[in-house]
Amino acid sequence: MPGRMNRERARDEKTPVLWMVVHGLIASAIGIAVGLAIQWFPEQASTQADTIDHLYDVLIWTSVPVFVTVSIIVLFSVRNFKMRPGEEQLDGPPIHGNTRLEVIWTAIPAIVLVVLCSYAWVVLTDIEEAHANEMRINVVGQQFAWTFEYPQAGGKPVKSTQLYLPKDRPVRFYVKALDVIHDFWVPAFRMKIDAVPGIETKYRITPSRLGTYPVVCAELCGLGHAVMRSQTHVVSPTQFNTWLADQKAPAAATAGGKVDAKQLFTDGNGTATACGACHKLADAGTQGQTGPDLDKALAGKDAKFIEQSITAPDAEVASGFQPGIMPKNYSDTLSQEELQALVKYLGEVAGK
Ligand code: CUA
Residues with beta carbon inside 6 Å of ligand 1? Answer: 141, 144, 182, 217, 219-221, 225, 228
317 CB contacts (<8 Å, ≥6 apart)? 323
d(CA 202, CA 172): 7
In the three-class reduction of DSSP (H, G, I as helix; E, B as strand; rest coil), residue 112 is classed as: helix
For 122-164, the pLDDT digits (tens) are 999 999 888 888 999 999 999 889 999 998 656 778 888 899 9
Atom of ligand 1 lying closest to residue 224 CA: 2
d(CA 257, CA 186): 35
> What confidence score (pLDDT) does residue 125 get?
92
DSSP track, 242-309: HHHHHHH-HHHHHHSS---HHHHHHH--SSSPPGGGT-EETTTTEE--SS--HHHHSTT--HHHHHHH
Is residue 7 pLDDT above 70, yes or no? no
Tell me which residue has its CA closest to atom 1 in ligand 1.
182
Lowest mean pLDDT among 33-37, 66-70, 114-118, 285-289: 285-289
Indicate the pTM of the whole model.
0.68
Mean pLDDT of all residues in 311-319: 85
Winning range, highest mean pLDDT, from 18-27, 127-136, 189-198, 245-254: 189-198
Atom of ligand 1 lying closest to residue 180 CA: 1
State the first-to-last Cα distance of the chain, in angstroms, to the nearest integer: 89
Q: Is the dihedral of CA 112, 114, 118, 120 positive or negative?
A: positive
Is residue 2 pLDDT above 60, yes or no? no
**Nearest alpha carbon to residue 292 among 306, 271, 272:** 306
Mean pLDDT of all residues in 117-125: 94
Q: Tell how far the Cα of 35 is from the centroid of ligand 1, in angstroms.
A: 29
Q: Tell how far the Cα of 324 is from the centroid of ligand 1, in angstroms.
A: 12
d(CA 104, CA 322): 57
Better-predicted residue by pLDDT, 121 or 17? 121
> What confidence score (pLDDT) does residue 8 get?
52
CA angle (219, 222, 226) in 5-degree steps:
65
Lowest mean pLDDT among 91-100, 127-136, 221-230: 91-100
> What confidence score (pLDDT) does residue 261 get?
83
Q: How confident is the model at residue 108 (pLDDT cuts 50, 70, 90)?
A: very high
Q: Tell how far the Cα of 144 is from the centroid of ligand 1, in angstroms.
A: 6
How many CA atoms, within 13 angstroms, populate the side-chain half-sphere of residue 164?
Answer: 21
Atom of ligand 1 lying closest to residue 222 CA: 2
> What confidence score (pLDDT) does residue 231 get?
93
For 327-352, the pLDDT digits (tens) are 888 887 788 888 888 888 888 888 87
Atom of ligand 1 lying closest to residue 144 CA: 1
Q: Tell how far the Cα of 270 is from the centroid of ligand 1, in angstroms.
A: 21
Atom of ligand 1 lying closest to residue 181 CA: 1
Q: Tell how far the Cα of 59 is from the centroid of ligand 1, in angstroms.
A: 28
Q: How confident is the model at residue 255 (pLDDT cuts 50, 70, 90)?
A: very low
Q: How many other C-beta atoms are found inside a 10 Å radius of the C-beta of residue 103? A: 10
Q: Tell how far the Cα of 234 is from the centroid of ligand 1, in angstroms.
A: 23
d(CA 315, CA 308): 7
H/E segment holding residue 9 = helix 2-11
Atom of ligand 1 lying closest to residue 141 CA: 1
Q: How many other C-beta atoms are found inside a 10 Å radius of the C-beta of residue 33? A: 12
Q: C-alpha 39: how far from its chain's center?
A: 17
Q: Tell how far the Cα of 143 is from the centroid of ligand 1, in angstroms.
A: 7
Lowest mean pLDDT among 1-15, 185-199, 246-260, 297-311: 1-15
Is residue 52 pLDDT above 70, yes or no? yes
> What confidence score (pLDDT) does residue 252 get?
44
> What confidence score (pLDDT) does residue 296 get?
86
H/E segment holding residue 75 = helix 47-80
Rounded to the nearest 5°, which phi and psi values hold at 235? -125, 175
Share of the chain above pLDDT 90, in %: 46
Mean pLDDT of all residues in 252-277: 71
d(CA 274, CA 263): 9
Lowest mean pLDDT among 5-14, 38-47, 222-231: 5-14
For 162-193, the pLDDT digits (tens) are 999 999 999 999 999 999 999 999 999 999 99
Is residue 307 pLDDT above 90, yes or no? no
With helix as H, strand as E and coil as C, how does 218-238 read? CCCCCCCHHHCEEEEEEECHH
Q: What is the mean pLDDT of the chain?
A: 86
Q: With contact defined as beta carbons under 8 Å apart, do 238 and 206 qualify? A: no
Q: Tell how far the Cα of 53 is from the centroid of ligand 1, in angstroms.
A: 25
